[in-house]
Amino acid sequence: MSDCIFCKIANGEIPSNTVYEDDQIICFHDADPQAPVHVLIIPKKHIPSLDEVKEEDKELLGTIMLKVQDLAKDLGLDNGYRLVNNCGEDGFQTVKHLHFHLLGKRKMTWPPG
Ligand code: AMP
Ligand code: ZN
């Protein structure tokens, strides 16, 4: 997707503060952090949202989920963390490229506030 900001981050066109990258995924610090640690985990493949994940993306999704614990260790989130996906309009998804927010280093209430 030529006009997708996260595709541009994935292909290096737009710089990001990257914490991890391989051929399938890239993880980088959110530009507007909502917690002392706020990292985004995205597939390099353009998938518009969690609602548009296909059967063929099953392994990719598993890879992303398994990466969370590695990142949490690397980022020192030994007291826990929150993983968030905003999906669609009611989920207030602003970037239409699948991503997961990994938030930590502060106590997070539920419901969020
Ligand atoms: P969402 O509202 O779930 O779609 O989240 C999109 C997130 O992307 C927001 O937290 C933004 O702060 C973040 N964001 C947007 N552009 C960039 C960028 N160029 N680099 C890092 N984070 C970004
Ligand atoms: Zn994209």
Q: Is residue 110 in a domain?
A: no
Tokens of 64: 């992303």
The Å distance, Cα 31 to ligand 1 centre, comes to 6
Sign of CA dihedral 12, 15, 21, 25: negative
What Rg do the C-alpha atoms of the chain give, in angstroms?
14
The Å distance, Cα 78 to ligand 2 centre, comes to 31
CATH (domain of 24)? 3.30.428.10
Q: Which pLDDT does position 2 carry in this prediction?
A: 78
Q: Is residue 96 in a domain?
A: yes
Mean pLDDT computed over every residue of the chain: 97
Tell me the per-residue pLDDT of 27-61, one tens digit each, with 9 for 90 and over: 999 999 999 999 999 999 999 999 999 999 999 99
Taking the complete model, does pTM exceed 0.85, yes or no? yes
Mutate to test the pocket of ligand 1, among 8, 27, 94, 97 (most ligand atoms within 8 A of CB): 94
Q: Which residues are paired to 55 by β-bridges? A: none
Q: 24: which DSSP letter? A: S
∠ CA 56-61-65, nearest 5°, is: 165
If one counts the domains in the chain, the total is 1
Ligand 1, atom 12: closest residue by C-alpha: 32
Q: Is residue 109 in a domain?
A: no
Domain extent for 22: 5-104
Residue ranges of alpha helices (H) inside the chain are 5-10, 58-74
Q: Which pLDDT does position 112 carry in this prediction?
A: 79
Q: Is residue 12 in a domain?
A: yes
33 φ, ψ (degrees, to nearest 5): -60, 135
H-helix or E-strand spanning residue 21: strand 18-21
Mutate to test the pocket of ligand 1, among 37, 39, 95 (most ligand atoms within 8 A of CB): 95
Atom of ligand 1 nearest to the CA of 28: 21
* Active site amino acids: 99
Tokens of 21: 């990258």
Mean pLDDT of 1-28: 96
Tell me the per-residue pLDDT of 80-112, one tens digit each, with 9 for 90 and over: 999 999 999 999 999 999 999 999 999 999 987
